């Protein structure tokens, strides 16, 4: 893949994170529509719909983060903190949003899955900050 009229090649990792960011945005919008319009019976009794919305919101917040990682990889080149941040964003949002969404629909907790995902998301933000401080 090259940028229009330029011999500049977009790194494979950048394409991956750009694609994941777009896909996560799509899934978050679809999840938001489901959380808003499905009948109450589709959610866990006490606060299932609120948990589903939280899962969707966390996904939507991290879609632009994945896009940013992809763009930064294009601009700065392949850098370990950026690659690790992108991987942590991708895995963290799947674990966190997946576990919180699952709890919202079924009422059953998946143990330490959501906290693990949340920890990965915090690590990803830290890695992004570390990369920003590098020359």
Q: Check residue 78 and give its pLDDT.
A: 80
Please state the domain extents for the chain: 12-133
pLDDT for the residue 8 = 67
* Average pLDDT taken over every residue of the chain: 92
CA 125 to chain CA centroid, Å, is: 12
Hey, is 2 helix, strand or coil?
strand
Backbone angles phi, psi at 2, to 5 degrees: -125, 155
pLDDT of 1: 46
pLDDT over 90 percentage in the chain: 85
Burial of 135 (0-12, 13-18, 19+ CB in 10 A): exposed
pLDDT tens profile 83-101: 999 999 999 999 999 999 9
Which stretches of the chain score pLDDT less than 70? 1-8
Contact yes or no for 43/49 (Cβ under 8 A): yes
Amino acid 6: pLDDT: 56
What is the reported pLDDT for 77? 83
- Predicted pLDDT at 46: 85
- Neighbouring CB atoms inside 10 A of 134's CB total 10
């Amino acid at each position: 893949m090259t940028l229009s009229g330029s011999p500049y090649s977009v790194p494979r990792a950048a394409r991956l994170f750009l694609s994941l960011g777009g896909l996560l945005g799509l899934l978050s919008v679809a999840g938001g529509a489901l959380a808003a319009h499905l009948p109450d019976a589709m959610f866990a009794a006490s606060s299932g719909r609120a948990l589903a919305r939280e899962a969707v919101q966390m996904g939507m917040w991290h879609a632009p983060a994945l896009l940013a990682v992809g763009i930064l990889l294009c601009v700065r080149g392949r850098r370990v903190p950026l690659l690790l941040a992108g991987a942590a964003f991708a895995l963290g949002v799947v674990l966190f949003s997946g576990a919180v969404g699952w709890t919202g629909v079924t009422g059953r907790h998946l143990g330490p899955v959501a906290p693990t995902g949340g920890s990965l998301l915090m690590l990803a933000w830290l890695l992004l900050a570390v990369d920003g401080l590098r020359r």
